[in-house]
């Protein structure tokens, strides 16, 4: 058993870091898509019909836009709160 | 490239720690958006634009929820210290 484990070279490290980054981005996107579908289906489709009417589609589109707007506002507010808390302590 | 190389690489360790923190923060934002969308936009989630009232509600919601969490945390710690 050797005590010297082979070191990662720069290339390998970069690859791993990119891959982790990508995975996180995908996970994030999946989470948002899941929430969007849940929220907007609930808000827009009261009685499921045999198709999505054009007013259903409009409602869903706007709902998903508003949810993303809300996500951005919440993200900013949360970041600012964290900064404020850091300054206090 | 062994798992040992991965685990012992200091730069990678720093990167992973930073990413975990980033993940936790993102999870919090998802959670807060979920709650505050319902609270602030429940019936009007499909308007064509968020009004300033909506925006203010969302901002307040984030702060009040975090205040709530902190209050509960402190109270719970107090209880545990008092041995109840």
Q: Does the residue A27 lie in any domain? A: yes
> Which residue would you say has higher pLDDT here, B60 or A10?
B60
**pLDDT (mean) for B66-82:** 96
Of A5, A58, A78, the CB nearest to B29: A78
Min distance A83 CA to chain B CA atoms (Å): 13
Q: Does the residue A4 lie in any domain? A: no
**pLDDT (mean) for A2-21:** 82
What pLDDT is recorded for position A10? 87
Domain of residue A26 covers: 10-44+52-88
Min distance B56 CA to chain A CA atoms (Å): 9
Q: Does the residue A34 lie in any domain? A: yes
Give chain B's domains with CATH numbers.
3-82 (1.10.287.810)
Which CA distances in Å does B62 have to A33, A79, A87, B81? 21, 10, 18, 29
Tally of domains in chain A: 1
**Coil, helix or strand for A15?**
helix
Provide the whole-model pTM.
0.83
What pLDDT is recorded for position B48? 87
pLDDT confidence band for B66 (50 / 70 / 90):
very high
> Which CATH number do you get for residue A57?
1.10.287
What pLDDT is recorded for position A44? 92
What share of chain B has pLDDT > 70, as a percent? 98
What pLDDT is recorded for position A7? 79
Q: Which residues of A touch B57 (CB under 8 A)?
A: none
CB contact (8 A) between residue B40 and residue A43: no
**Is the distance from CB of A70 to CB of B41 less than 8 angstroms?**
yes
A61-71 pLDDT, tens per residue? 999 999 999 99
- For residue B65, the chain A residue with the least C-alpha distance is A78
Quick check: ipTM above 0.90?
no
Cβ neighbours of residue B61 closer than 8 Å, sequence gap 6 or more: A74, B32, B35, B36, B39, B40
B18-27 pLDDT, tens per residue? 999 999 999 9
Q: Does the residue A2 lie in any domain? A: no
CB contact (8 A) between residue B58 and residue A40: no
Q: Is B11 on the interface with A (CB under 8 A)?
A: yes
Cβ neighbours of residue B25 closer than 8 Å, sequence gap 6 or more: A78, A82
Query: Residue A2 pLDDT more than 60?
Result: no
What pLDDT is recorded for position B75? 96
**Is the distance from CB of B46 to CB of A67 less than 8 angstroms?**
no
């Amino acid at each position: 058993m050797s005590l010297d484990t082979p070191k990662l070279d720069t290339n390998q490290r970069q690859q791993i870091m990119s891959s982790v980054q990508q995975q996180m981005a995908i996970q994030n996107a999946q989470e948002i898509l899941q929430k969007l579908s849940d929220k907007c289906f609930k808000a827009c489709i009261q009685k499921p019909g045999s198709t999505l009417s054009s007013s259903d589609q409009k409602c869903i589109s706007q709902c998903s836009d508003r949810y993303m707007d809300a996500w951005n506002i919440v993200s900013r507010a949360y970041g600012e709160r964290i900064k404020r808390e850091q300054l206090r302590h | 490239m062994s798992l040992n190389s991965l685990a012992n690489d200091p730069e990678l360790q720093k990167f992973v720690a930073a990413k975990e923190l980033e993940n936790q923060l993102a999870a919090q934002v998802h959670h807060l958006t979920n709650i505050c969308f319902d609270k602030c936009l429940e019936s009007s989630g499909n308007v064509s634009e968020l009004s300033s009232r909506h925006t203010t509600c969302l901002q307040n919601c984030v702060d009040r929820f975090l205040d709530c969490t902190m209050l509960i945390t402190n109270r719970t710690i107090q209880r545990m210290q008092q041995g109840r």
